[in-house]
Amino acid sequence: MRYDLAFAEAGFHSALLTTFSIDTQIFENIALPPMRAAGCRNIGVMVDRDRLNHQLAEFNSAHRAGLVYQLSKIKVRGAFHPKIILQLGRERGRLIIGSGNLTGAGMITNLEAATVLTVGPEDMRAAPILATSLRYLQSHVAQDDVGGLAPVSPDTQAVAV
């Protein structure tokens, strides 16, 4: 599965993404435009703090972070390494768990594995899994992170980022 193609699919107003490594230039120029063009306006990316600090210091900066999407640094013992994409819309939701980072190689060129669960009016069986994924993502956000991802009620259809 190529993430950049999946991001172009309409029907999702919000997306939360996790990654160990991100190339912000690739993300902002390749992944972000199709998401926004498809109507996704609430976009949050959670990245391993130490890895992101290293990447930003050495390679580039996140020019559109804080303006078009929220970039949150996550600190855990070891490394924050999940690759999760949770997309939510009014009619449906989608959970993608894969092996690819949010880099050019991870999204486009490498052969990466991914599992996709979709929830919609015709099939709600995976809804509890999507709700659990949202709670997992929220559990990694520091409560005092004013610029970070805001907590969301499980009843809420939108993800506040």
122-150 pLDDT tens trace = 999 999 999 999 999 999 987 766 555 44
23-52 pLDDT tens trace = 999 999 999 999 999 999 999 999 999 999
Q: Strand 84-88 relative to strand 14-19: parallel, antiparallel, unpaired?
A: antiparallel
Tell me, what's the pLDDT at 108?
A: 87
The DSSP secondary-structure symbol of 88 reads E
Confidence category of residue 60, pLDDT binned at 50, 70, 90:
low
Structural contact between residues 158 and 14, judged by C-beta atoms closer than 8 angstroms: yes
Instruction: Report the b/e string of 17-51 with b at 16+ CB within 10 A.
Output: bbbbbbbbebbbebbbebbeebebebbbbbbbeeb
77-127 pLDDT tens trace = 999 999 999 999 999 999 999 999 999 999 989 999 999 999 999 999 999
Please give the model's pTM, rounded to 2 decimal places: 0.87
Distance in Å from the first CA to the final CA of the chain: 26
The values of phi and psi at residue 139, to 5°, are: -65, -15
Tell me, what's the pLDDT at 152?
A: 38
Report d(CA 96, CA 149) in Å as an integer: 19
